[in-house]
């Protein structure tokens, strides 16, 4: 790859980060390039959907990233078990699939599980999830998410945005394309258990390389 091509990639990545988060890119932003292979088509997606477009490829490449210097937009958890924090930052681009028509804001969630020596049950694994958040109860909606999951709890020390990511540190990294119609719970919020899944395609990420 030529030096000019590398510079162009960095410029495009910065532009995507600004477009998604609505903030100027800062020095604390990180950008990675990834390669992924088709893992499974769990639910055959409807024709014309983003998930169907993705399923037509055996492999995908793209970029993802987030800003570290942003405040939490939400936080929750169970003391002594797990903590969650959402950040209004992040982006995902896929070279082979246009994600420009996806609805919703991109949010990055950091999950910090707590390993309990006296608890025989499995601990909640530490993970990072970058994905689109939107709700549609009347028509099908496409969504994409990138999940980077550690083998167990203990990898993260808190719910701050990680400074760096390494492929070998994760048990799995999955890029998921879905098409669904949401159901609403009693309080007018999306009830994930009642969602109608119309398409579900999962890619396994095999390589990540930091480019910024």
Give per-residue burial for 60-73: e unless 16+ CB within 10 Å, then b: bebbbbbbbebeee
Q: What is this structure's pTM?
A: 0.79
- How far apart, in whole angstroms, are the C-alpha atoms of residue 174 and residue 151? 14
Q: Give pLDDT, residue 152.
A: 72
- Tokens representing residue 40 in the block: 């499974």
pLDDT of residue 82: 87
Q: Output the pLDDT for position 6.
A: 41
Does residue 28 or residue 139 have the better pLDDT? 139
pLDDT in tens, 106-161: 999 999 887 665 555 566 889 999 999 888 998 999 999 999 998 777 778 888 88
127-133 and 105-113 beta bridge pairing: antiparallel
Stretch among 30-44, 83-97, 137-151, 172-186 having the lowest mean pLDDT: 172-186
Q: In the prediction, which pLDDT does 125 show? A: 84
Q: What is the mean pLDDT of residues 167-184?
A: 92
Give 155 or 187, the one with higher predicted confidence: 155
pLDDT tens per residue across span 65-80? 999 888 899 888 888 7
Beta carbons within 8 Å of 120's beta carbon, 6+ residues apart? none
Backbone angles phi, psi at 123, to 5 degrees: -80, 160
Q: What is the pLDDT of residue 37?
A: 98
What does the alpha-carbon distance between residue 143 and residue 51 come to, in Å, rounded to a whole number?
8
Average pLDDT over residues 26-34: 80
Does 35 have pLDDT greater than 90? Answer: yes
pLDDT recorded at residue 118: 59
Provide mean pLDDT across the span 2-19: 43
Of the candidates 70, 93, 128, 100, which has an alpha carbon nearest to the alpha carbon of residue 14? 93
Question: CB–CB of 136/103 below 8 Å?
Answer: yes
- Going by pLDDT thresholds of 50, 70 and 90, the confidence category of residue 102 is very high
Share of the chain above pLDDT 90, in %: 53
User: Does the pLDDT value for residue 192 go beyond 60?
Assistant: no
């Amino acid at each position: 790859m030529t030096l000019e091509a590398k510079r162009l990639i960095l410029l495009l990545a910065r532009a995507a980060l600004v477009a998604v988060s609505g903030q100027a890119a800062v020095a604390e932003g990180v950008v990675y390039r990834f390669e992924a292979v088709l893992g499974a088509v769990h639910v055959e997606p409807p024709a014309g959907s983003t998930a169907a477009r993705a399923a037509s490829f055996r492999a995908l490449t793209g970029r993802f990233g987030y800003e570290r210097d942003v405040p939490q937009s939400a936080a929750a958890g169970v003391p002594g078990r797990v903590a969650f924090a959402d950040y209004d930052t992040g982006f995902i681009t896929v070279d082979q699939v246009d994600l420009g028509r996806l609805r919703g804001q991109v949010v990055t969630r950091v999950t910090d599980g707590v390993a309990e020596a006296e608890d025989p049950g499995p601990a909640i694994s530490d993970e990072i999830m970058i994905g689109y958040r939107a709700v549609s109860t009347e028509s099908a909606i496409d969504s994409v998410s990138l999940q980077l999951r550690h083998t167990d709890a203990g990898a993260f020390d808190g719910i701050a945005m990680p400074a760096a990511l390494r492929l070998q540190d994760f048990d799995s990294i999955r890029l998921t394309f879905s098409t669904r119609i949401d159901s609403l719970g009693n309080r007018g919020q999306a009830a994930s258990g009642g969602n109608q899944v119309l398409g579900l395609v999962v890619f396994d990420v095999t390589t990540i390389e930091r480019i910024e």
